[in-house]
Structure 1
Amino acid sequence: MGGFNTSFGEGFILVGFSDWPQLEIFLFAFILIFYCLTLFSNTTIIALSRLDLRLHTPMYFFLSHLSFLDLCFTTSTVPQLLINLRGFDRTITYGGCVAQLYIYLALGSTECMLLVVMAFDRYVAVCRPLHYMTIMHPCLCHTLAISSWLGGFVNSMIQTSLVMTMPLCGRQLNHFFCEMPVFLKLACEDPGGTEAKMFLARVIVVALPAALILGSYVHIAQAVLKIKSTAGRRKAFGTCGSHLLVVFLFYGSAIYTYLQPIHTYSEKEGKFVALFYTIITPILNPLIYTLRNKDVKGALWKVLRRGRDLG
């Protein structure tokens, strides 16, 4: 347990992108711009879903939860990364690292579950349109949203607890934040098959929801193909296509990071994949939904016109 006690007392050093010093200034500017855009775009989605009565539907209720999740998700790592890139301080305390790991895992797990809920919402909208408002009652919507958040935080508590029982050898984390696979790389040994237990938990949280979403979209595709109206078919494909694109971007990177054996995980590649799902995906989500959705665009123009008239 010597390595574990050392880490507890002295904290960790986040290597970040110091392997590529020539990239650091470019990455700092790029990430800062994207972070500001992420904050603005996701806050806009949340505000529009509150302000416009036409957006007071289950779909936009879940979309505002997704936007809030993305705000928290990116904020859990980006400020630390920006400090790291300026080279001011590459260390993080043991407690700070555990907190970051727990929060990041909790938010990621919650997003996995929320995307399943959103797929279920689309399934009901397309396959049971006449009963949509009866099934997707506000009470059920709130229950599904709360369950996603609770499930995410419980899963993170289990996995973080398992990681913290493993003795760690060394203080250098070859990453820009405290991520699970990098911790596992630092483990001296694997007492009691901890890694196997954690892998099973990751399969339940990542692979199972992905399978459920794919299953729901098979049913959705079958229902859409039966729609005789071209306009109706186009509208169904439009709203479902946006969600499917978000799912593909999120789960693609999550499966790469969390469902490959730890001995094949590349820390260098992992850093750039992590950049994608901590910086790029949170800004793409609102853009994908906004650009492909007439209701959101209509609500945005309405708010802008109102602001201009008041000005």
Structure 2
Amino acid sequence: YLLTENHSMKIQNHTEVNEFYFQGFSSFQEHQITLFLIFLALYILTLAGNVIIVIIIQIDRHLHTPMYFFLSMLSTSETLYSLVIIPRMLSSLVCRDKSISLAGCATQMFFFVTFGINNCFLLTAMGYDRYVAICNPLRYTVIMNKKVCALLVWGAFSIGLVVAMTQVTSVFRLPFCDIEVAHFFCDIRPVMKLSCTDTTINEILTLIISILVLLVPMGLVFISYVLIISTILKIASAEGRQKAFATCASHLTVVIVHYGCAAIAYLKPKSENTKDQDQLISVTYTVITPLLNPVVYSLRNKEVKDALLRAIGKKHL
């Protein structure tokens, strides 16, 4: 009877919840300033790296190809993705006010999901581009024309929008009783845990969406690379094989880390990890992964490095 009465009182009180509070990195209370400085440095590097890649691709005509068009779209999406999460996280580390309104939380979740899924499908489009370039080189310019590239980018963004609207609507229709989000941003599962009611249906919906937006793109990229590798192995010269592998290495590195982190975060069984372990995984895919894109494509891609040198007038270096 007491349990029923308490549950009833919580249901009645859920209308009073109009903001949440982030617990953030409360386990590392004495290291808040250190964490702030580390994350700020990584954030500045992420913004600078992705912005430089977008600018270089825009101004250098040698990079006006489908591959680099997709890379510029990915860099733009990664920049917006990190912008949704990291500034608010940095603020929570140094300010006493760790609150966020219900509308603000819903908005953050919406854009986080939109750009996260957009990144997944952009990487798939880049995998398809590499497949066409290596397996159908004579028809590459015909197949990967401007219209097809624009449709692939628009399709990736549209899927992100639709899924984000579905996910956010399902979460924020729940009645909330608790106000402390055991996280540093409004991720789906931590917010659902604040609900008074059974969230089994929402959990199932989240799992289905995660499978569709992670395993389907991963499967398509895997098929692309099976066909790519089988084609590369048929190339007679060692130099030709090496050049073909080099064009795929950067993309494959980003794909493995991006999908790997996302799969660990959203496809693992319902929380066997501690809060600190969950936060470590989240830091990886919200802070480290957006930085990985410019680092990998800058260090491993000769064309990008040459374009950067041309842009700063130091080609002969």
TM bracket, shorter-chain basis: over 0.9
Give the residue type in structure 2 aligned to 1:296. V
1:23 matched residue in structure 2: 31
Give the residue type in structure 2 aligned to 1:99. T
2:166 matched residue in structure 1: 158
- Residues 1:242 and 2:250 are matched in the alignment: yes
Residue of 195, 203, 221 corresponding to 2:203: 195
2:5 matched residue in structure 1: none
Equivalent runs, 1:67-146 vs 2, <5 Å: 67-146=75-154
Residue of 241, 262, 267 corresponding to 1:259: 267
1:80-137 Cα offsets, whole Å, 9 max, x none, are: 0111000331111111001001110111011111111111001111111111111000
Separation in 2 of the partners of 1:40 and 1:193?
41
1:6 matched residue in structure 2: 16
2:6 matched residue in structure 1: none
Separation in 1 of the partners of 2:199 and 2:62?
55
Distance 1:186 1:247, change over 3 A: same
Separation in 2 of the partners of 1:262 and 1:169?
21
What is the deviation of 1:306?
A: 7.0
What is the deviation of 1:259?
A: 1.1
Distance 1:228 1:44, change over 3 A: same
Separation in 2 of the partners of 1:153 and 1:269?
29
Separation in 2 of the partners of 1:4 and 1:117?
43
Paired residue secondary structure (2:288): helix
1:168-219 Cα offsets, whole Å, 9 max, x none, are: 3300001110001212222333367232122111211111111111111111
Give the residue type in structure 2 aligned to 1:241. A
> In the alignment, is the contact (CA less than 8 A) between 1:184 and 1:262 conserved in 2?
no
Equivalent runs, 1:225-236 vs 2, <5 Å: 225-236=233-244
Separation in 1 of the partners of 2:272 and 2:16?
27
Aligned residues: 306
What is the deviation of 1:41?
A: 0.7
2:45 matched residue in structure 1: 37
What is the deviation of 1:142?
A: 0.5
Give the residue type in structure 1 aligned to 2:233. L
Residue of 282, 297, 307 corresponding to 1:274: 282
Paired residue secondary structure (2:25): coil
- Residues 1:46 and 2:44 are matched in the alignment: no
1:62 matched residue in structure 2: 70
Distance 1:4 1:262, change over 3 A: farther
Distance 1:3 1:159, change over 3 A: farther
Report the TM-score when normalising by structure 2: 0.92
Residue of 147, 150, 165 corresponding to 2:155: 147
Residue of 179, 182, 186 corresponding to 1:178: 186
> In the alignment, is the contact (CA less than 8 A) between 1:3 and 1:167 conserved in 2?
no
What is the deviation of 1:263?
A: 4.0
Give the residue type in structure 1 aligned to 2:268. Q
> In the alignment, is the contact (CA less than 8 A) between 2:58 and 2:64 conserved in 1?
yes
Report the TM-score when normalising by structure 1: 0.94
Give the residue type in structure 2 aligned to 1:19. S
- Residues 257-266 or 290-299, more deviating: 257-266
Separation in 2 of the partners of 1:294 and 1:277?
26
> Which aligned runs of 4 or more in structure 1 are off by greater than 4 angstroms?
none
> In the alignment, is the contact (CA less than 8 A) between 1:41 and 1:286 conserved in 2?
yes
1:204 matched residue in structure 2: 212
> In the alignment, is the contact (CA less than 8 A) between 1:123 and 1:217 conserved in 2?
yes
Separation in 2 of the partners of 1:258 and 1:29?
28
Superposed CA RMSD in Å reads: 1.7
What is the deviation of 1:3?
A: 5.5
What is the deviation of 1:266?
A: 3.7
Separation in 2 of the partners of 1:260 and 1:166?
23
Distance 1:159 1:175, change over 3 A: same
What is the deviation of 1:229?
A: 1.7
Paired residue secondary structure (1:76): helix
- Residues 194-203 or 133-142, more deviating: 194-203
